[in-house]
Homo-oligomer: A and B are copies of this chain.
């Protein structure tokens, strides 16, 4: 029982974690992943993504038993009917989620037991950009602030280090902070 408790830390199985890391170290081609989403317009600002298939560890995944669906919308002031969080809010969720999971994995690797992790995120946007009313403001957020509150069985400095390490390894933090080449094509 103690052994199992030692192995599972923060809900992460450290034996499985080190097994995965060793396998990818031994064969770096296993690290190549391709993630996907399919989106369909419903009406107005309402559209919906379906997320299931991905490629990783040398093959198409066959473990996911069902697709996830995510709905998007806009509030009335932005001409929608609130059918879901808006795309910019959803980006904040993706960022929070990735930083949090990175943090939980880093803590597991460093033998820190977490008791609570919470974050609040806020992004500033002048919507004149996206609405086409001004070329002097950008379309997206000018700034994003992320504020973490982390509790666990380690001193505050160590918890802060875990957050810093998570930030330096988070996939979505990297993308949002540094940008990614995006190619858009269209057929009709």
Instruction: Point out residues on A near B: beta carbons under 8 Å.
Output: 10-13, 16-17, 20-21, 24-25, 28, 31-41, 43-47, 49, 51, 54, 56-57, 61, 63-65, 68, 70, 72, 74-80, 82, 84-102, 104-105, 114, 116-134, 137-152, 156, 159-160, 163, 167, 169-188
Contacts and interface: CB of A to CB of B under 8 A. Distances in A.
Contacts of A105: 45, 79
B119 A39 contact: yes
Nearest to A103: B41
A140 to B, nearest CB: 4
Contact of A118 (B40, B99, B180): B40
A28 to B, nearest CB: 6
B49 A70 contact: no
A70 to B, nearest CB: 5
B37 A89 contact: yes
24 contacts: A20-B79, A20-B131, A28-B126, A32-B125, A32-B126, A34-B124, A36-B122, A37-B89, A39-B96, A41-B100, A45-B105, A51-B85, A63-B77, A70-B90, A72-B94, A87-B97, A88-B94, A88-B175, A90-B93, A139-B173, A140-B175, A142-B181, A173-B184, A176-B176
Contacts of A61: 75, 77
Given A31-B131, A156-B188, A175-B176, A119 B38 contact: yes
Contact of A171 (B10, B68, B130, B144): B130
Nearest to A105: B79
A146 B185 contact: yes
B93 A49 contact: yes
Contacts of A91: 91, 94, 172, 175-176
Contact of A183 (B20, B144, B187): B144
A128 B164 CA distance: 18
